[in-house]
Structure 1
Amino acid sequence: MRYTDFTPYDLVLLAQGLGISLYLFIATTLMGLMIGTALAIIRLYRIPALRQVVGFLTELLKNSPVLVQLFLVFFGVPAFFRLNLTPIEAAMITLTGNTTAFIYVIAVSSMEAVGREQVEAARVFGLTRWQVLRHIIAPQAAAFAIGPLTGLMVNQLQVTSLISVIGVMDLTKVGNILNLRTLKPFIVWSVVGLLYYLVAKLVAWLGARYEAQLRAHSAWRGG
């Protein structure tokens, strides 16, 4: 067999690479969603010291290149703190931090979009901060946020391709290996690009469907 031939096992490699990309994308999105929302709540309730620290860190993360962050975590942190990080761990930390920063901005904007008169009215009726957050702010903020969050998720899916540079066997890394072995870049990168495109379209479709459900559920509020 010539080295330039494709084999059936290449499909297995592509599936494995796609699986790793999806795993990192889903895991870092969920963690970023939890952390980013929690940080937005800190800002909402104006905790002075934490608010300033959170604001500085999120500005730093969302305004610096992801590739630089990835190199800093993978090469810099182990050297400075005497730690051993695997490529997967470094990718997880970097993508979670970057996603958190953008979700924080979206969550803050969505919470601030909720009418303050509703919050004040709820407090007049004796609702606690937690009850106001749960029953008044969260449902409406979710409806405001789902569109920007969907766009962010599509972008972050594409950002995962950067982790191949530190040796993670994701979809892009597998594509690079197949390209070097087969010397057929047009076919290889067309397939890789198509796989990213299909997943991105699925994410966008799910986001649009969920947004429609949320807006339909809360449509009466704007009447």
Structure 2
Amino acid sequence: MSNNAFVPYDFIVLLSGIGVSLQVFLISSLIGAVLGTLLALTRHYQVPGLGHAATFTSEFLKNSPVLVQLFLIYFGLPILLGVDMTATEAAVITLSGNTAAFISVIVVSALASIDKGQVEAARSFGLSEWKVLTKIITPQALLVAIAPLVGLAVNQLQVTSLISVIGVMDITKVGQILNQRTWQPFIVWPVIGATYFMLSWLLAKLGRTLETHLKKHQDWASL
């Protein structure tokens, strides 16, 4: 058999790469969502001593290249802290911070879009800040934020292709290996691109379904 020929095991390796990409994406998205929301609330409520720090952190992470962040975390953080770190761990840390930065901006904008009259009215009826946040602000802010959040998720899924540069065996790294072995770039890279397209399309479709559900729920609740 020619060394340039594809073998059934290549399909297994490809599926493994897809699994790694999705794992990094899902974990970093979950952590980023939690951290981003906390950053946004810190900025929105102008917590003393933390508001400016949260703004600086989110702006720095949002406006610096992800590739540079990957190198800093993977090569710099172990030296700074004196710890061992795998490439996958570095990828998760980097993408979590980057995702959190963008989510914080989206959430801050969504919170700012809520009519302040509603918030003041709720407070005048004696509702606690927690109930105002969870019962008044969050449902409306979520509907405003859902579309940009879905767009961010699709973008971050594609950004995972960068983690291959530090050695993570994601789908892009698998593509590089297959391309080097088979020398058939017009087969390998269209397959990799189509895989990213399908994953992004499914994610966007899921987001549109969720957005439609939220709109229907809000329309029903407002009756």
2: CA distance, partners of 1:81 / 1:130: 37
Percent identity of equivalent pairs = 54
CA displacement at 1:44 relative to structure 2: 2.1
Name the amino acid aligned to 2:90.
A
2:179 aligns with 179
1:147 is aligned to: 147
Q: Work out the CA distance in 1 between the residues paired with 2:149 and 2:133.
A: 19
Between the two proteins, the alignment pairs up a number of residues equal to 223
RMSD (CA atoms): 1.2
SS at match of 1:218: helix
Matches within 5 A, 1:1-223: 1-219=1-219
Q: Which 4+ residue blocks in structure 1 deviate beyond 3 angstroms?
A: 220-223
Q: TM-score scaled by structure 1?
A: 0.97
Q: Distance in 1 between matches of 2:80 and 2:34?
A: 28
Cα separation, 2, equivalents of 1:80 and 1:46: 31
Aligned-partner residue type, residue 52 of structure 1: H
Counterpart amino acid of 1:168? V
Measured in 2, the distance between the counterparts of 1:49 and 1:110 equals 23
Equivalents in 1 of 2:148, 2:93: separation in Å?
22
* Whole-angstrom distance in 2 between the partners of 1:22 and 1:196: 11
* C-alpha displacement of 1:78: 1.4
Rounded to whole Å, the distance in 1 between the matches of 2:91 and 2:205 is 26
* Structure 2: runs of 5+ lacking an equivalent: none
Cα distance in 2 between the residues matched to 1:102 and 1:46 = 18
Distance in 1 separating the partners of 2:52 and 2:214:
32
Q: How big is each residue's C-alpha offset from its partner over 1:3-62, in whole Å with a ceiling of 9 and x where there is no partner?
A: 101000111000000000001111111111111112211222221211010000110000
Deviation per CA, 1:197-220: give whole Å up to 9, x if none. Answer: 000000100101111111122136
1:121 positional shift: 0.5
Task: Determine the C-alpha separation between the residues in 2 that align with 1:82 and 1:34.
Answer: 27
- In the alignment, the residues of structure 1 paired with residue 216 and residue 41 of structure 2 have an alpha-carbon distance, to the nearest angstrom, of 25
Between the aligned partners of 2:78 and 2:175, the Cα distance in structure 1 is: 28
* C-alpha distance in structure 2 between counterparts of 1:216 and 1:46, whole Å: 33
Q: In terms of mean alpha carbon deviation, does 211-220 or 81-90 score higher?
A: 211-220
Aligned equivalents of 1:71, 1:131: Cα separation in 2:
42
CA offset digits 1:54-73 (Å, max 9, x no partner)? 00011000000000000000
2: CA distance, partners of 1:220 / 1:49: 41
Unaligned runs of 5+ in 1: none
Aligned partners of 2:118 and 2:106: how far apart in 1? 20
The secondary structure found in structure 1 opposite 2:64 is: coil
Structure 2 distance, partners of 1:110, 1:167, is: 37
